[in-house]
Amino acid sequence: MSSDSQKLELLDKKNTGTVDAYPGLTSNQEVPVSARPKIIASLQVFAQTIPPVAPTDLLTDSAFTHGIRQYSTTYPYVVKYTNVSLKSLKYGISYRFSGTDPSHPDTTNILSNAIPDNFDPTGTYQIVVKSSTGVVIQANDASHPWKYDIDAGYLTFFHSTPFSEPSEIPTISYWRYEGVIGLGPGASGSTGTQGSTGQSEATGAQ
Protein backbone atom coordinates (compact mmCIF):
# COMPACT_ATOMS: atom_id res chain seq x y z
CA MET A 1 0.00 0.00 0.00
CA SER A 2 1.12 3.59 -0.58
CA SER A 3 2.24 5.36 2.59
CA ASP A 4 0.44 8.29 4.21
CA SER A 5 3.26 10.62 3.16
CA GLN A 6 2.95 9.51 -0.47
CA LYS A 7 -0.81 10.02 -0.39
CA LEU A 8 -0.37 13.48 1.13
CA GLU A 9 2.16 14.39 -1.55
CA LEU A 10 -0.21 13.23 -4.28
CA LEU A 11 -3.07 15.21 -2.71
CA ASP A 12 -0.93 18.33 -2.34
CA LYS A 13 0.21 18.18 -5.96
CA LYS A 14 -3.30 17.53 -7.20
CA ASN A 15 -4.53 20.49 -5.16
CA THR A 16 -2.03 22.72 -6.93
CA GLY A 17 -2.85 21.25 -10.35
CA THR A 18 0.41 19.31 -10.62
CA VAL A 19 0.85 15.71 -11.73
CA ASP A 20 2.65 13.29 -9.37
CA ALA A 21 4.92 11.67 -11.96
CA TYR A 22 8.04 12.08 -9.80
CA PRO A 23 7.19 11.13 -6.21
CA GLY A 24 9.54 12.90 -3.82
CA LEU A 25 10.07 15.97 -6.00
CA THR A 26 8.41 19.32 -5.44
CA SER A 27 5.58 20.68 -7.58
CA ASN A 28 7.87 23.06 -9.47
CA GLN A 29 10.11 20.12 -10.43
CA GLU A 30 7.23 18.09 -11.89
CA VAL A 31 6.18 17.59 -15.54
CA PRO A 32 4.77 20.95 -16.80
CA VAL A 33 1.21 19.82 -17.53
CA SER A 34 -2.03 20.73 -15.80
CA ALA A 35 -3.59 18.11 -13.56
CA ARG A 36 -6.54 20.26 -12.51
CA PRO A 37 -10.09 18.86 -12.53
CA LYS A 38 -12.17 19.53 -15.65
CA ILE A 39 -14.03 22.63 -14.49
CA ILE A 40 -13.15 25.44 -16.93
CA ALA A 41 -16.16 25.40 -19.23
CA SER A 42 -14.63 26.78 -22.42
CA LEU A 43 -11.60 24.51 -22.17
CA GLN A 44 -12.49 21.46 -20.13
CA VAL A 45 -16.21 20.64 -19.97
CA PHE A 46 -17.15 17.53 -21.93
CA ALA A 47 -19.94 18.89 -24.13
CA GLN A 48 -21.21 15.66 -25.66
CA THR A 49 -23.15 12.92 -23.92
CA ILE A 50 -21.25 10.05 -22.36
CA PRO A 51 -23.63 7.09 -22.02
CA PRO A 52 -24.14 5.87 -18.43
CA VAL A 53 -23.09 2.38 -19.50
CA ALA A 54 -20.08 1.86 -21.77
CA PRO A 55 -21.17 1.25 -25.39
CA THR A 56 -20.73 -2.16 -27.00
CA ASP A 57 -21.13 -1.11 -30.66
CA LEU A 58 -17.40 -0.81 -31.17
CA LEU A 59 -15.35 -0.58 -34.34
CA THR A 60 -11.60 -1.21 -34.29
CA ASP A 61 -9.18 1.39 -35.58
CA SER A 62 -6.70 -0.84 -37.43
CA ALA A 63 -4.23 2.03 -37.91
CA PHE A 64 -3.56 2.43 -34.19
CA THR A 65 -0.32 0.60 -33.33
CA HIS A 66 0.17 1.29 -29.60
CA GLY A 67 -2.42 -1.21 -28.37
CA ILE A 68 -6.06 -1.51 -29.43
CA ARG A 69 -8.28 1.50 -30.17
CA GLN A 70 -12.04 1.02 -30.59
CA TYR A 71 -14.73 3.67 -30.94
CA SER A 72 -18.50 3.53 -30.61
CA THR A 73 -20.60 3.87 -33.76
CA THR A 74 -23.31 5.68 -31.78
CA TYR A 75 -20.90 7.78 -29.72
CA PRO A 76 -17.74 7.92 -31.90
CA TYR A 77 -16.06 10.27 -29.44
CA VAL A 78 -16.25 7.60 -26.71
CA VAL A 79 -13.16 5.50 -27.29
CA LYS A 80 -11.94 2.31 -25.65
CA TYR A 81 -8.18 1.82 -25.43
CA THR A 82 -6.87 -1.63 -24.54
CA ASN A 83 -3.33 -2.58 -23.48
CA VAL A 84 -1.89 0.81 -24.41
CA SER A 85 1.90 0.89 -24.45
CA LEU A 86 3.59 3.17 -21.93
CA LYS A 87 6.90 4.93 -21.46
CA SER A 88 8.35 5.86 -18.10
CA LEU A 89 9.22 9.31 -16.84
CA LYS A 90 10.77 8.10 -13.62
CA TYR A 91 12.36 4.69 -14.25
CA GLY A 92 9.95 1.93 -13.26
CA ILE A 93 7.70 4.31 -11.33
CA SER A 94 5.65 6.74 -13.44
CA TYR A 95 4.33 6.38 -16.97
CA ARG A 96 2.45 8.09 -19.78
CA PHE A 97 1.48 7.10 -23.34
CA SER A 98 4.52 5.82 -25.25
CA GLY A 99 3.69 8.03 -28.24
CA THR A 100 3.68 11.27 -26.23
CA ASP A 101 5.69 14.11 -27.76
CA PRO A 102 7.88 15.38 -24.88
CA SER A 103 7.63 18.90 -26.34
CA HIS A 104 3.81 18.83 -26.19
CA PRO A 105 2.77 16.41 -23.43
CA ASP A 106 -0.45 18.33 -22.79
CA THR A 107 -1.83 17.58 -26.28
CA THR A 108 -0.22 14.28 -27.30
CA ASN A 109 -0.63 12.12 -24.20
CA ILE A 110 -3.78 10.08 -24.89
CA LEU A 111 -3.95 8.85 -21.31
CA SER A 112 -5.51 12.24 -20.51
CA ASN A 113 -9.28 12.92 -20.55
CA ALA A 114 -10.07 9.38 -19.44
CA ILE A 115 -13.61 8.54 -18.35
CA PRO A 116 -13.64 7.73 -14.60
CA ASP A 117 -14.10 4.05 -13.86
CA ASN A 118 -16.85 4.90 -11.37
CA PHE A 119 -18.86 6.81 -14.01
CA ASP A 120 -20.82 3.57 -14.25
CA PRO A 121 -21.02 1.97 -10.78
CA THR A 122 -21.38 -1.46 -12.38
CA GLY A 123 -17.87 -1.16 -13.81
CA THR A 124 -18.32 -1.02 -17.57
CA TYR A 125 -15.79 1.84 -17.76
CA GLN A 126 -13.24 -0.18 -15.84
CA ILE A 127 -9.59 0.89 -15.81
CA VAL A 128 -7.25 -2.09 -16.00
CA VAL A 129 -3.49 -2.07 -15.43
CA LYS A 130 -1.53 -5.17 -16.40
CA SER A 131 2.03 -6.30 -15.84
CA SER A 132 4.32 -7.01 -18.77
CA THR A 133 3.22 -10.65 -18.54
CA GLY A 134 -0.48 -9.77 -18.77
CA VAL A 135 -1.36 -10.19 -15.09
CA VAL A 136 -3.89 -7.65 -13.76
CA ILE A 137 -2.44 -5.35 -11.07
CA GLN A 138 -5.09 -4.00 -8.72
CA ALA A 139 -4.83 -0.36 -7.62
CA ASN A 140 -4.39 -1.50 -4.01
CA ASP A 141 -1.97 -4.31 -4.83
CA ALA A 142 0.29 -5.11 -1.86
CA SER A 143 3.48 -4.99 -3.93
CA HIS A 144 2.66 -2.53 -6.72
CA PRO A 145 -0.11 -0.09 -5.69
CA TRP A 146 -0.84 2.57 -8.28
CA LYS A 147 -2.77 5.77 -8.96
CA TYR A 148 -3.97 6.94 -12.38
CA ASP A 149 -4.41 10.68 -12.92
CA ILE A 150 -7.21 10.61 -15.51
CA ASP A 151 -7.03 14.38 -16.13
CA ALA A 152 -3.34 14.77 -16.94
CA GLY A 153 -2.85 11.16 -18.04
CA TYR A 154 -0.14 9.74 -15.77
CA LEU A 155 0.10 6.33 -14.12
CA THR A 156 2.23 6.25 -10.97
CA PHE A 157 3.28 3.23 -8.91
CA PHE A 158 4.13 3.49 -5.22
CA HIS A 159 6.28 0.38 -4.98
CA SER A 160 9.59 0.01 -3.21
CA THR A 161 11.09 -2.00 -6.07
CA PRO A 162 10.59 -0.30 -9.48
CA PHE A 163 9.79 -2.33 -12.57
CA SER A 164 12.86 -3.20 -14.64
CA GLU A 165 12.99 -1.69 -18.10
CA PRO A 166 12.28 -2.41 -20.85
CA SER A 167 11.25 -5.94 -19.87
CA GLU A 168 8.66 -5.08 -17.18
CA ILE A 169 6.81 -2.02 -18.52
CA PRO A 170 3.07 -2.35 -17.74
CA THR A 171 0.11 -1.54 -20.00
CA ILE A 172 -3.21 0.17 -19.30
CA SER A 173 -6.76 -0.19 -20.62
CA TYR A 174 -9.34 2.58 -20.19
CA TRP A 175 -12.11 4.60 -21.86
CA ARG A 176 -11.49 8.10 -23.17
CA TYR A 177 -13.58 11.09 -24.21
CA GLU A 178 -12.46 12.53 -27.57
CA GLY A 179 -15.39 14.81 -28.33
CA VAL A 180 -16.11 18.53 -28.21
CA ILE A 181 -14.82 20.34 -25.16
CA GLY A 182 -16.72 23.48 -24.19
CA LEU A 183 -20.36 24.42 -23.65
CA GLY A 184 -21.73 22.65 -26.70
CA PRO A 185 -23.64 24.05 -29.72
CA GLY A 186 -23.46 27.80 -30.01
CA ALA A 187 -20.49 28.14 -27.70
CA SER A 188 -16.83 28.23 -28.60
CA GLY A 189 -14.88 25.18 -27.62
CA SER A 190 -12.11 22.88 -28.72
CA THR A 191 -12.11 19.19 -29.56
CA GLY A 192 -10.49 16.72 -27.23
CA THR A 193 -7.05 15.49 -28.25
CA GLN A 194 -7.52 12.49 -30.53
CA GLY A 195 -5.63 9.25 -30.63
CA SER A 196 -2.65 9.29 -32.95
CA THR A 197 -4.70 7.69 -35.74
CA GLY A 198 -8.26 6.94 -36.69
CA GLN A 199 -9.80 10.40 -36.30
CA SER A 200 -11.15 10.44 -39.82
CA GLU A 201 -12.84 7.07 -39.26
CA ALA A 202 -14.44 8.17 -36.01
CA THR A 203 -15.75 11.37 -37.58
CA GLY A 204 -17.22 9.45 -40.45
CA ALA A 205 -19.00 7.08 -38.11
CA GLN A 206 -20.77 9.94 -36.41
Q: What is the mean pLDDT of residues 8-23?
A: 86
Report the Cα–Cα distance between both ends of the chain, in Å, rounded: 43
The percentage of the chain sitting over the pLDDT mark of 90, rounded to a whole number, equals 61
Higher pLDDT, 100 or 195: 100
Q: Which long-range contacts (CB under 8 A, 24 or more apart) does 27-36 make?
A: 31/89, 31/105, 31/152, 31/154, 32/105, 33/105, 33/106, 33/109, 33/152, 33/153, 34/106, 34/151, 34/152, 35/149, 35/151, 35/152, 35/154, 36/151
- Under the banding of pLDDT at 50, 70 and 90, the label for residue 193 is low
> Is pLDDT at 188 greater than 50 in this prediction?
no
Closest to 76 measured CA to CA, from 48, 53, 43, 115: 48
CA atoms of 105 and 119, how far apart (whole Å): 25
Q: What are the structural domain ranges in the chain?
A: 4-205
The per-residue pLDDT for range 91-138, each reduced to its tens digit, is 999 999 999 999 999 899 999 999 989 889 899 999 999 999 999 999
